[in-house]
Amino acid sequence: MSEKQTGMPEKLWIKAGLTDSEYELLTSHMKREPNTVELALYAQMWSEHCGYTHTRPLFKHFLTTGPRIVQGPGENAGIVDIDDDEVLTFKLESHNHPSAIAPFQGAATGVGGIVRDILAMGAYPIASLNSLHFGHPGDAGHTRYLISEVVHGIGEYGNCLGVPTVGGELRFADAYKGNPLVNAMCVGYMKQSQIKKAIATGVGNSLMIVGNLTGRDGMGGASFASKDLDEQNEEDRGAIQVGDPFMEKLLIEACLEVFEKDYVVGVQDMGAAGILSSSVETASKAGNGVEIDVALVPKREAAMQPEEVMISESQERMLLIVKKGMEDQVNKIFHKWDLHAVVIGHVTDDGMYRVLEDGTTVGEVPVWSLMDAPTYILEGQEPAHLQQTRRFKNDDVAVPDDLNQVLLKLLGAPDICSKEWVYRQYDYRVQMNTVVKPGSDAAILRIKGRDKAVGVTMDSNGRYCYLNPRRGAQSIVAESARNQVVSGAEPIAITDGLNFGNPENPEVYYQLEQSIIGLSEACRALDTPVIGGNASLYNQTPEFGAIYPTPIIGMVGLVKSLKHVTTMEFKNEGDFILVVGETRDELGASEYLDQIHGLVAGDVPELDLELERKTQNFILDVIRQGLVSSAHDIGDGGMAVALAESCIMGEYGAEISLDLDLRSDALLFGESQTRFMLSAKGESAAKIIEIATAQGIEAANIGRVKSCKQLIINNFNEKLVDLRVTDCAQAFKSGFDKMMKTDV
């Protein structure tokens, strides 16, 4: 078909984000050339963001089933069983590119989108978390602006919505300077009988769009998120959605009321690619076709073209598959909440995806072809920088003379210092379920009316994965599980966010593949299946290059009794302080090496996944036996930072006596894996060590909790650290405010 016949400029598919070979493939599927409407459909559904073209072949590595898994990957969100016919649904999504261009709206609509994924499962959203990565805030005013706007956007949307923002993380590195990461997670609660699915069953059933009007905001967002950020991206501001949290609150209440009736057979959030992706996905799962008339879609802008209506990512919209004859009842409920509910099409039995405008067909393609995005298995190449970073030896750096100042600097470092500046902008108590607030190892939420709770965490470490993608990814899963068990929760399952650069670069593809393998190995070892997630690739800019490989783990755990809830702060004068796990002479990849010596080098600390599982089970067991006063994992900044944090939070001091033949900086600040810090009363401490010894787990009594508010750490009677806890607290609590240049 000629250019004149199609009405399409030559190679318009290139501008749409499709390659020549992809264009040839879709014409083969259609047995003709597409018109502009049909080309737009393929361009969005075959984008990396919707089609997972580079990541889908790698998902085969993941463990996705388990005794508590009710729904694995393939739906809007995964679902886990938490006993008593109750389930949790949770998911993680990225909004990186939008947040780089329009940080407030990008972050706000990221929250709104992930909340709707949870709503689409039939659940009430009970918690929100976020994982944010930026360049160093002290480097440039623009970075501080991005941080402020992103945090403001998350807080504004979540606070207005009435969903508590209970946890997350905030990390910094030059690698994120040109391309910040904004990943949002949401958790929902429901009875197992209330689960909804995204499926368009029942020929003749109606497709109803509910919620907000459709406009030109969010145009081409899926394809925008599937290419590198560059200086031309200001032109993509139209791909940034605009959120209305008050509208979303009404949408939540209206949908949940409709779900109580027997009106709806399927439901899908309108996220990436809007009406298009939501309707294609529901039709594909049912093996049916759909017919949609864009003239019926309620719009906020005039003269919208059919393809604009189909791919718009306007916020606060859902697609309902409604039983034929029940449309008026659905409309009455939404009208009560001042929302529209309009029939825009119906389910067909011919397997075709048909777009009409005022009854005239303007696009028609097979449903299966839109869902059959081509995938690419590439050849990875080990990054060249690893040859240099692996040469690092501890002897390459000198032990600082003043270890007190090192500890204070680490406590005020961007990745370690208190993030209260962030979470004081969030309403984390709304819904009145938050038992442990932000700032602890894990957020804990009670299940109303039950003697149980859930732990929720988000964790990452881009520096680890930059230096060793496979082991770094393993360590992130292990760290997230440690945060759960020290809080009294049994890790159940994860959702992952895969944030990487351009996968067409062999070094980036190597990082992606090795990270996924590492995640999979850790999840299998720790029995935390992957029940869903998100892939965000092409996170890079011409000026700053690719981000660190940054897989982000969102994890949920079950606290079987509220009596098991445990926190990190020291609680009783005279309690013994125990370290569980082996401290090795390891400085590679550490926060200490980065902050004090300016080196991102060395290898990630060794990790024995079998020992990790055994040790985590031990920690959870002694907590459930009531032997533990406080528990904290030893992570960023090593043992000295963990001790200082427990002192600061509990407003106690500690005197520690060690006998370890290690470099002083490795002993204090090394990040050896599978280590925990517990405090316990005398008889309990002895019992803990007895149980550990019987199981072949290393555990030692290293000191006592003191009321004097002094942190003293000795090794072979040499005083390494002697600091007032108030000085530690000042460094820890003011560090972030200083970076953001606010009053402290």
Helix spans in 46-175 (H): 48-51, 96-101, 103-119, 141-161
496 and 611 part of one domain? no
Residue owning tokens 């011919």 = 350
pLDDT value of position 271:
87
- The CA distance from 568 to 435, in Å, is 14
Residue 143: name the closest of 134, 155, 133, 132 by CA. 134
Please give the biggest Cα pair distance in the chain. 87
Query: What is the span of the domain harbouring residue 333?
Result: 197-370
In a domain, 257, yes or no: yes
* Domain assignment of residue 21, yes or no: no
Tell me if 27 is assigned to some domain: no
Instruction: Looking at the structure, tell me whether residues 430 and 397 fall in a common domain.
Output: no
How many structural domains is the chain composed of? 3
Q: Mark whether 328 and 406 lie in a shared domain.
A: no
DSSP letter assigned to residue 553: E
Backbone angles phi, psi at 267, to 5 degrees: -150, 145
> What's the one-letter identity of residue 296?
L
Residues 89 and 136 in one domain: yes
Q: Do 505 and 80 contact (CB within 8 A), yes or no?
A: no
In this structure, what CATH number is given to the domain that contains residue 490? 3.30.1330.10
What was the pLDDT predicted at 308?
A: 95
Do 737 and 416 touch, CB atoms closer than 8 A? no
Residue 562: CB atoms within 10 A of its CB come to: 15
Specify if 629 maps to a domain. Answer: yes
Q: Determine the pLDDT at residue 70.
A: 98
**Rounded CA gap, 555 and 191, in Å?**
20
**φ/ψ bin of 184: left (φ > 0), alpha (ψ from -120 to 50), beta (otherwise):** beta
Nearest to 361 by CA among 370, 352, 371: 352
How confident is the model at residue 227, as a pLDDT?
52
Q: Which residues pair with 482 in a beta bridge?
A: none
DSSP for 563-605, written as a single string: GG---SS--STT-EEEEES---S--TT-HHHHHHH----SPPP
Q: Which of 418, 454, 532 is nearest to 164 (CA)?
A: 454
Do 429 and 533 lie in one domain? The reply is yes
Query: Are 84 and 160 in the same domain?
Result: yes
User: Burial, 312: exposed, middle or buried (Cβ in 10 Å; 0-12, 13-18, 19+)?
Assistant: buried
Q: Give 454's strand partners.
A: 445, 558
Q: Residue 192 gets which letter from DSSP?
A: G
Q: In what order do the strands lie in the sheet with 630-633?
A: 630-633, 676-680, 576-580, 699-706, 653-658, 710-715, 718-724
For residue 321, being part of any structural domain is answered with yes
| Residue 518 structure tokens | 């590492």
Phi–psi pair at 69, nearest 5 degrees? -85, 115
Q: Is residue 488 included in any domain, yes or no?
A: yes
Backbone phi and psi for residue 439, each to the nearest 5 degrees, phi listed first: 110, -10
Question: Is-catalytic flag, 95?
Answer: yes
* Burial (CB count <10 Å: 0-12, 13-18, 19+), residue 160: middle
Q: Looking at residue 470, what DSSP letter applies?
A: H
Residue 14 lies in a domain: no
Residue whose pair of structure tokens reads 């059919």 in the numeric block: 306
* 594: its two tokens: 């980065």
In the listed set 310, 340, 370, which residue is the last one of a domain according to the structure? 370
- Is residue 311 within 8 Å of 273, Cβ to Cβ? yes
Please tell me the predicted confidence (pLDDT) of residue 223: 47
- Two tokens at 332? 């009455």
Number of C-beta neighbours around residue 479 at 10 A: 26
381 and 431 share one domain: no
Contact 325, 237 (CB under 8 A): no
The per-residue pLDDT for 229 is 64
Q: Locate tokens 């009405």: which residue?
A: 7
Active site residue 564: no
Of 525, 547, 565, at which residue does a domain stop? 565
Do residues 355 and 308 touch, judged by C-beta distance below 8 A?
no
Claim to verify: residue 183 and residue 93 sit in the same structural domain: yes
Cα–Cα distance, 541 to 108 (Å, whole number) = 23
Pairwise CA distance, residues 77 & 88, whole Å: 10
Closest CA to 171 of 720, 632, 550, 622: 550
Please give the backbone phi and psi of residue 160, each rounded to the nearest 5 degrees, phi first: -65, -35
Q: Are residues 677 and 552 in the same domain?
A: no
pLDDT mean for each 10 residues of the chain (744 residues): 42 78 94 94 93 95 97 96 97 94 94 97 98 85 92 96 96 95 98 96 98 84 53 52 91 97 96 94 97 97 95 95 98 96 98 98 97 95 97 98 98 96 95 95 96 98 98 98 98 98 97 98 98 96 95 98 98 98 98 98 98 98 98 98 98 97 98 98 97 98 97 96 98 91 59
- The residue annotated as part of the active site, out of 54, 95, 133, 346, is 95
- Distance, CA of 59 to CA of 46 (rounded, Å): 17
CA dist., res. 607 & res. 716, Å (int): 27
Burial code (b: 16+ CB inside 10 Å, e: under 16) for 455-472 equals bbbbbbbbbbbbbbbbbb
522 and 601, same domain (yes or no): no
SS3 323: coil
Q: Is residue 597 part of a domain?
A: yes
Q: Which of 49, 54, 133, 632 is catalytic?
A: 49
Which residues contact residue 165 at a Cβ distance below 8 angstroms, ignoring those fewer than 6 apart?
127, 128, 129, 130, 154, 155, 158, 159, 423, 426, 427, 428, 438
Angle between helices 327-336 and 245-259 (to 10 degrees): 140
225: domain CATH number is 3.90.650.10
Task: List the structure tokens of 575.
Answer: 């309690």
**Terminal alpha carbon distance of the chain:** 68
How is residue 526 written in tokens?
Answer: 């720790």
Looking at the fold, whether 271 and 216 belong to one and the same domain comes out as: yes
| Side-chain half-sphere CA neighbours of 22 within 13 A | 26
Q: Looking at residue 548, what is its pLDDT?
A: 98
C-alpha to C-alpha distance for 477 and 462, rounded to whole angstroms: 13
Instruction: Point out the domain boundary residue: 565, 595, 621.
Output: 565
Residue 596 sits in the same domain as residue 720: yes
